[in-house]
Structure 1
């Protein structure tokens, strides 16, 4: 029923490599030197730096639902239980509410609304954070809320409309688009009728950037990385103006004024909005900046964090490193006994043990970390 597509998710290898651990566990290829640290050293670092509370009672937590990022939104976490049922947990690990049997949750909460499906009619509607159905299940096609709106269609012959969280229709589309309608900074990706080109549409349902490019990402800081049919990446602004020429093998998002880009030699560095190289090309992989730090990987596949001047602030000692959120980042190593994950603060100190099987990023000062295939614990900052 939901119209979210997988095209945008597969655009850049960079995005996949840097976010998959947040939802599916992290794959490693080489053992880390960090596993040589003994438990006493880990306990000492944790005791000195920890401000993370772990709920004592684990929750049932299986594979992350398809249209969830595995993080808390509006204080609630969408999770899959052992019986296959999807539920919302609160910060204490309790089921926040019980939905009627014929309603199943589809998306995370955004703008205090989550998409649900009525299994008896196969139509979609929206609940609030109390589990109350506030927008009836009357839509044949729907998306979750993003940037304050959601896309809905009452029938297949309908072009669709954008609605607000109170269910009010603000735009009736004059034509149909192939899009996931995931808006960021007022714009969403749209695909040409043959699905061979991408452009961007606004909240009025107007294609403001024509079908021109092969691939594109979501807007960030009034810029977006797009790829030409010559297989080169550059950046355009919300008017479609080229602000960084098409000269890179790949590119990530602008964040805190910088964006990671890959040169023809396969190395990553960082540029500013003028296209000037601020941090030289030297990394095997590089993530976008968050809270003043960015995860980077050296040629040996080890991950650390650099600041916006390119100084290595947290050394190359991990096999996987995710972006910081709420002052905390998830990191992982491969030990002789298996994969281990934990969390560090911006000083590089462990704030949890390296004990988890899968990890998700902190958001709203909360995160969930799996301790087995079907159980997890909620962490609170």
Structure 2
């Protein structure tokens, strides 16, 4: 289990491996722009980030129906689910509503054969009432919730093996791909563009990565400078900044020349960040306050760039419902907006409040507290016996229970595995992490990581779980934290080229290029033509300073 410093000290600084350096900031990988955007918004939302596999809407729905073989994540009121068509093998993908009713039956069928990837992954999610699909002639189109084609394009349809959750409509913009790169297991889009609802190209397919819209705006690079585009395709803040971060609560951090600044949605400079603040990437607001970092200690500033809570903690989390988790040595507690400690440091890990309840850990034991610090049930109900600080550790966690939703006629309720079956519960948490990750929202990425952590905690010798956790941490610009998990994955399965490539990618981003090149060479020996692995080697060589050599 993470210490408070891991849980929160790294939280406002998990981009620190990519700390901006005025002399070489433009040399940072473009992928970082996307994941920086994700990270800046991760703590800005008060949505639940307690990833519990037993209580998520998707798992409740799956628990209520025995014919759901696989399920995606809810988006725009619908969730994709692959329903068994027994006695036939495999399953067919449907879009279900919150009650489990099939709203749209697709022609996507997973054959159910061992190793088959065809239609194995969920179809693209709905967004703005539309979802990406194949027009029947091999071209990308977007359909409404009745299955009617609304947007037609001349661009290729999404291959079944591609990561498709980036194809989400934002306002008047619908993503298209000008070119898919073919790898061993995946086909990745290398040229992203956007069309409007009439199918007219608004942004040519020249972007290396899809735009990520947060609060209606997305960071976009033009000629080495950064600005903001709205979801109608209009450049609303000119590309004049040397660096720019996603908006949270109407403001964003940016770099202009030698100045690190806070800007509003008109692009106007509000104030200059405190000189001691170690990174503009820390700037993400929650309930009017954002973390500041000074010589390894953490506090908060307001939207006038004034430090209002002194940087004296070992780590801080975002404010939620008036409280923020903070690290004090090896324990975590909670402060209010005056900086007063209202729940004493006593937890090995602590998370945001949601509807008056926060998840915490006492050692390896998951518990829940209310805003007074009393231990409660997950739904906020008082415990039968009041828990004290001394007694809390001895009280066992409640055993997993089946979902309470009544199953539809003709189906049987999901029966959870025994509470002590850690392998089975690890698999459930891992699948929940996959579902959350596929939602493609800032808060769901962080929630997914929590699920992956739980899977790894329950089954630490599972290479797939270790790899996925390490990959996710790296994706959210916390490479240093992800590397041990990637190393463990490689140790468990040294002949898995994908694990080696992920490790090499993360090592490259923290400057350990010699180790990165060693790992990627092993990966390429097994997958010599994989575009991702080739790209990692190219990046590692470039960062090493000379192709083929490492520093």
Deviations 1:171-209, CA, capped at 9 Å, x for gaps: 83489666633223442111244xx55332233432623
Rounded to whole Å, the distance in 2 between the matches of 1:79 and 1:227 is 44
Partner of 1:217: 245
Partner of 1:237: 264
Partner of 1:8: 33
Give 1:278 deviation, angstroms: 1.4
Shift in alpha-carbon separation, 1:136–1:330, aligned structure 2, 3 A: farther
Three-state SS of the structure 2 residue aligned to 1:111 is: coil
Rounded to whole Å, the distance in 1 between the matches of 2:63 and 2:366 is 17
Matching of residues 259-278 of structure 1 within 5 Å? 259-263=290-294, 265-278=295-308
User: How does the TM-score come out when normalised to structure 1?
Assistant: 0.60
Three-state SS of the structure 2 residue aligned to 1:101 is: strand
Three-state SS of the structure 2 residue aligned to 1:289 is: strand
Q: Which of the numbers 215, 235, 245 marks the counterpart of 1:206?
A: 235
Partner of 2:317: 287
Partner of 2:287: 256
Contact persistence 1:106–1:117 (CA under 8 A): no
Partner of 1:151: 174
Partner of 1:111: 128
Contact persistence 1:180–1:190 (CA under 8 A): no
Partner of 1:40: none
Contact persistence 1:58–1:93 (CA under 8 A): no
Name whichever structure is richer in helix by fraction.
Answer: 2
Give 1:92 deviation, angstroms: 5.5
Matching of residues 88-99 of structure 1 within 5 Å? 90-91=97-98, 97-99=104-106
Deviations 1:63-105, CA, capped at 9 Å, x for gaps: x97xxxx6x4434446799989987565456776542217875
Name stretches of at least 5 consecutive residues in structure 2 with no aligned partner: 1-29, 85-89, 110-118, 157-165, 180-190, 379-396, 401-424, 465-551
Give 1:61 deviation, angstroms: 8.9
Partner of 2:147: 132
Shift in alpha-carbon separation, 1:108–1:319, aligned structure 2, 3 A: farther
Partner of 1:351: 377
Contact persistence 1:126–1:135 (CA under 8 A): yes
Q: How many residue pairs get matched?
A: 317
Partner of 1:34: none
Rounded to whole Å, the distance in 1 between the matches of 2:122 and 2:50 is 18
Contact persistence 1:267–1:281 (CA under 8 A): yes
Contact persistence 1:143–1:181 (CA under 8 A): no
Matching of residues 1-381 of structure 1 within 5 Å? 6-11=31-36, 55=60, 58=63, 72-77=74-79, 90-91=97-98, 97-101=104-108, 105=122, 107-116=124-133, 121=138, 123-128=139-144, 130=145, 132-136=147-151, 138=153, 140=155, 143-146=167-170, 148-153=171-176, 161=194, 163=196, 167-168=197-198, 172-173=202-203, 180-193=210-223, 197-202=225-230, 203-206=232-235, 208-214=237-243, 216-227=244-255, 234-246=261-273, 247=275, 248-250=277-279, 251-263=282-294, 265-300=295-330, 302-332=331-361, 334-335=363-364, 341=366, 344-348=369-373, 349-352=375-378, 353=397, 358=429
User: How does the TM-score come out when normalised to structure 2?
Assistant: 0.45
Give 1:311 deviation, angstroms: 2.9
Contact persistence 1:14–1:287 (CA under 8 A): no
Three-state SS of the structure 1 residue aligned to 2:299 is: strand
Rounded to whole Å, the distance in 1 between the matches of 2:212 and 2:265 is 15
Three-state SS of the structure 2 residue aligned to 1:100 is: strand
Three-state SS of the structure 2 residue aligned to 1:303 is: strand
Give 1:269 deviation, angstroms: 1.1
Rounded to whole Å, the distance in 1 between the matches of 2:134 and 2:344 is 46
Shift in alpha-carbon separation, 1:243–1:95, aligned structure 2, 3 A: same
Rounded to whole Å, the distance in 2 between the matches of 1:267 and 1:107 is 42
Name whichever structure is richer in strand by fraction.
Answer: 1
Deviations 1:95-130, CA, capped at 9 Å, x for gaps: 765422178755544333444467972x444454x5
